[in-house]
Amino acid sequence: MTDPTRLHAHELAALLRAGDLSAHQATQAALDAARAGNRALNAWLTIDDARALAEADAADDRLAAARAAGPAALAALHPLLGVPIALKDLVSVKGGQCTAGSRILEGYLAPYDAHITERLRSVGAVIVGKTNMDEFAMGSSTEHSAYGPTANPWDLGRVPGGSSGGSAAAVAAFHVPLAIGTDTGGSIRQPAALTGVVGLKPTYGRVSRYGIVAFASSLDQIGPFARDARDAGALLHAVAGRDARDSTSAPIPVPDELLQLPVSDDQAAAGLRGKRLGLPREYFVAGMEPASEARIRAAVAALEAAGAIVEDVSLPHTDYGLATYYIVAPAEASANLARYDGIRYGPASRDGDVLANYLATRGRGFGAEVKRRIMLGTYALSAGYYDAFYVKAQKVRTLIKADFDAVWAAGFDAIVAPTSPGVAFPLGAKLDDPVAMYLNDACTLPVNMAGLPGVSIPCGLADGLPVGLQLIGAAWSEAPLLALARGYEALTADADWRALEPTDLAASLDPDAPTPAERAAAAAAAA
């Protein structure tokens, strides 16, 4: 019997439909893997056995009924029925915790399901638990979680990226084939690149943010982590679509093409022929690691050899993205996080008067990075600075978006670029310098500023660590974008690096392994 945890979601779905494997078995395997790896990885904040197995049993009932009803009924089943999935711990699941990686939401139990949770329930996916993240999604390494860092299954002494590091690690370490993350400046794509999995940020407005803890409301998007492009398309299809409760969710139909990515490698690779891909020179940022750059250029060469037409393009305002993002995002966050005052939810200080209580509740409940960003945002929006900072940043945002619009107007099908300037870095390596940490998102955050879809796909290893290739598309082009990704997967199907499992996967199962927090402390002490 194949180890169910190694299966891609679409492979699992086929076995479930045939009755060769039950959702209960697949879910139990996921629960066991998650628990066995959690001391060393700390990917999960909640693993909910009872709920998951109940959902799995319900899925098994639906599968059995469909098998009894015949092939047409089986074919009509959603591809995610019975498939185990992880949710980043800022997605509301009714009755469950939703910490957003923060102490200020410790003990809070969500009184309602997020829109995407409702969608996942209705298609019959099995929610195994909630994953670790940088606090309030602010970070690029998952080191800013109030619940300890998450480790990278490729090297337990290194970060998985962030802020969705727990979801990325859970997929990379074969706990679950699918996970949900959020991406505001790169928080799906960058950890996907650092852990060697697929991570997609959809167009802003594609997926409802109702029930998702808000960081920056004009930038946040929800998206899938998966082992391949087909699986990512299926998960996006399940959760996307207009929701009246999120007024920024777009009335754009969810394309069924997301479920129709080419099955055969030949067909997928043929889809690359004649595609015009722009290679933005500004994305090969100063300080990019040479081994990562070499992998990206090799991937581009492979696309060209397959018949894609790759041309240099310029996105001239790329360099201004960091400053712009680190004004807009903290400004929006300072407003969104004003609600955490200990009155309606969360641990609260209640010893003093109202002001003293707010100062103590928020002072103690928020971590250092969150405080930094609230301060930046408050300052940028304050009287006397609003025009110089916030409005200025919004104007530069217009220029950044216009850079991309010019590329689409010139007839390009997609932009191909690095996802991250380097591979996974050691725990603690970038904690002392916030700006060094922010630079991890230089190639991802312009895509959020422009509201466009972007996907990171594995393209090999540099010094034994995963490198991600980023594909960026015009608004609403997730289906053709994933088709390109699928094409690249087909080209590299036999690459030796595809057969490799994360180097520290076996080590992650050691019940006596140090936790990532212990590793980080040891590294800091040794420094």
Partner 1 sequence: MAVLTRDDVAHVAHLARLGLTDDELTRLEGQLNHILEQYAKLAELDTGAIAPTAQTIELENILRDDIVTPSLPVEAALANAAAREGDFIVVPAIIGGD
Kindly tell me which residue out of 343, 409, 410, 506 binds partner 1, with binding defined by CB under 8 A.
343
Local structure of residue 52 (DSSP, 8 states): H
The least CB distance from residue 244 to partner 1, in Å, is: 7
Decide: is 355 part of the binding site for partner 1 (CB under 8 A): yes
Question: CA 329 to CA 320: how far, in whole Å?
Answer: 14
401 catalytically annotated: no
Give the E-state strand segments of 186-260 in sequence order.
Answer: 198-201, 221-226
Is the CB of 360 or the CB of 517 nearer to partner 1?
Answer: 360
Decide: is 57 part of the binding site for partner 1 (CB under 8 A): no
What does the block give as tokens for 253? 């139909």
Site for partner 1 in 427-456 (CB under 8 A): 433-435, 438, 450-451
Question: CA 133 to CA 99: how far, in whole Å?
Answer: 9
Closest CA to 483 of 272, 193, 214: 272
What does the block give as tokens for 223? 């998206």
Decide: is 405 part of the binding site for partner 1 (CB under 8 A): no
Kindly tell me which residue out of 297, 364, 506, 524 binds partner 1, with binding defined by CB under 8 A.
364
Site for partner 1 in 306-325 (CB under 8 A): 317, 319-320, 322-324
The least CB distance from residue 279 to partner 1, in Å, is: 24
The least CB distance from residue 359 to partner 1, in Å, is: 3
Catalytic one of 22, 102, 145, 187: 187
Kindly tell me which residue out of 83, 85, 258, 327 binds partner 1, with binding defined by CB under 8 A.
327
Decide: is 51 part of the binding site for partner 1 (CB under 8 A): no
Question: CA 414 to CA 374: how far, in whole Å?
Answer: 35
Q: Which residues pair with 455 in a beta bridge?
A: 200, 471
Burial class (CB in 10 A: 0-12, 13-18, 19+), 124: buried
Size of the site for partner 1 (CB under 8 A): 71
Decide: is 415 part of the binding site for partner 1 (CB under 8 A): no
Residue 487 CA, distance from chain mean position: 21
Is the CB of 189 or the CB of 206 nearer to partner 1?
Answer: 206
Is the CB of 209 or the CB of 295 nearer to partner 1?
Answer: 209
Is the CB of 46 or the CB of 492 nearer to partner 1?
Answer: 46
217 catalytically annotated: no
What does the block give as tokens for 12? 């699992």
Site for partner 1 in 90-129 (CB under 8 A): 107-109, 111-112
Decide: is 366 part of the binding site for partner 1 (CB under 8 A): yes
Closest CA to 181 of 172, 401, 64: 172
Q: CB within 8 A of 132, min separation 6: which ones?
A: 42, 43, 44, 45, 89, 101, 142, 145, 147, 148, 149, 150, 165, 166
> Backbone phi, then psi, for 218, in 5-degree steps?
-95, 0
Decide: is 376 part of the binding site for partner 1 (CB under 8 A): yes
Decide: is 398 part of the binding site for partner 1 (CB under 8 A): yes
**What DSSP letter does each residue of 324-343 carry, written as one string?**
HHHHHHHHHHHHHGGG-SSS
Kindly tell me which residue out of 18, 64, 244, 301 binds partner 1, with binding defined by CB under 8 A.
244
The least CB distance from residue 149 to partner 1, in Å, is: 20
Site for partner 1 in 469-488 (CB under 8 A): 475
88 catalytically annotated: yes
